[in-house]
Amino acid sequence: MGLKVQEILKVDANLELLNGSSEDTIEDLSTFRNASADHLLFISNKKFFEKYLNLKETNIFVCIDKKYYESLDEEGVKALSAKAKAIITTTNLPISMCLISKPFFDLKFGEMNDVVDGRQMGTGEVHPTAVISQNVFIGENVKIGSGTVIHSGCVISSGSEIGENCELMPNVSINRNSIIKDNVRIHSGTVIGADGYGYNFDKGVHHKVWHMGGVIIESHVEIGANSCVDQGTFSPTIVGEGTKLDNHVQIAHNVELGRGVIICGQCAIAGSARIGDYTVIGGKAAVGNDLEIGSACQIAGAAMVTGNLEDGAKVGGHPARPLREWLKGVAYLRKNSLK
């Protein structure tokens, strides 16, 4: 599996191969959280370049913004080259990400069959003790463990795995390559593994970033009705062991939830945010993209978190502030508005 560099260069005129062979094969696309040898990473600015320098992996294919590359000094270029199997520059990195992601998406998902039931094709592995209701669709190469109950109207798409003693209530959708471990309960109307909300704007058009990272739901998780856990772009969205999500919760692409996290109804966690173990998030609260929220934090209902939080932080308000500070501010405004 994989695509040759020369195939990638053909999909986008913005690309230029600086070094490395066009005959080399890029095995997959990566984020910095799961970077591996022979995978392709995108570097747009100093923030991502520093993440790249901190990687232990080598032989990585790099697609880097041309202007940023040209701004690097000699030492920076050497540091970039030291880990890189090949360096590709682009004059429009957001659009290159969109165009490059499509052939990898097609390669990974193009031949999957979600039209004919996998049991009919002989590719589905359903444990004899699992209970599958009528009107359930099971895609190609799906695995379902012992004691699991799948209620009517559920769709389990190709390549997904469901562990032991799980229960999917009516009309749950599990999209391709989702992994659900043991003792997980998912309530009606919830969607696991829909495409993340990723678009890059150029010349009046919102261009799609094609998502293929999947979702991992660890053991003993419960997810309420009509919630969504989007799949990652190029690495999985992760819901940690023992975490509980209420109804109408949105977990965006590449989010990582720790162990025992509590998220109440109508919350939204934006892309690539990390939530530490045993953090509690009140109803209608929101966490911004790419933020680091520590362990055992408490986020008040309707709070809007716009910055990183240390372990044990207690915050509220919009923008979220330390809880006592926010409450004092509310009291001050109320007192003065009544005068």
Nearest to 181 by CA among 259, 246, 295: 259
What are the φ/ψ torsions at residue 119 (nearest 5 degrees)?
-70, -35
Contact 182, 216 (CB under 8 A): no
Contact 210, 232 (CB under 8 A): no
DSSP state of 116: S
**253 in active site:** yes
What is the three-class DSSP state of 107? helix
Between CA 316 and CA 318 the distance in angstroms is 7
Handedness of CA 88, 90, 94, 99 (dihedral sign): negative
Residue carrying structure tokens 């990473």: 41
Token pair recorded at residue 103: 């052939």
Cα 102 to Cα 114: distance, rounded to the nearest angstrom: 19
Are the CB atoms for 44 and 65 separated by under 8 Å? yes
151, 211, 248, 253: which one is catalytic? 253
Beta carbons within 8 Å of 53's beta carbon, 6+ residues apart: 79, 83
Q: Mapping DSSP to helix (H, G, I), strand (E, B) and coil, where does residue 3 land?
A: strand
CA 80 to each of CA 22, 56, 100: distance values in angstroms, whole numbers, following the listed order: 19, 13, 21
Query: CB within 8 A of 120, min separation 6: which ones?
Result: none
- Residues labelled as active-site residues: 253
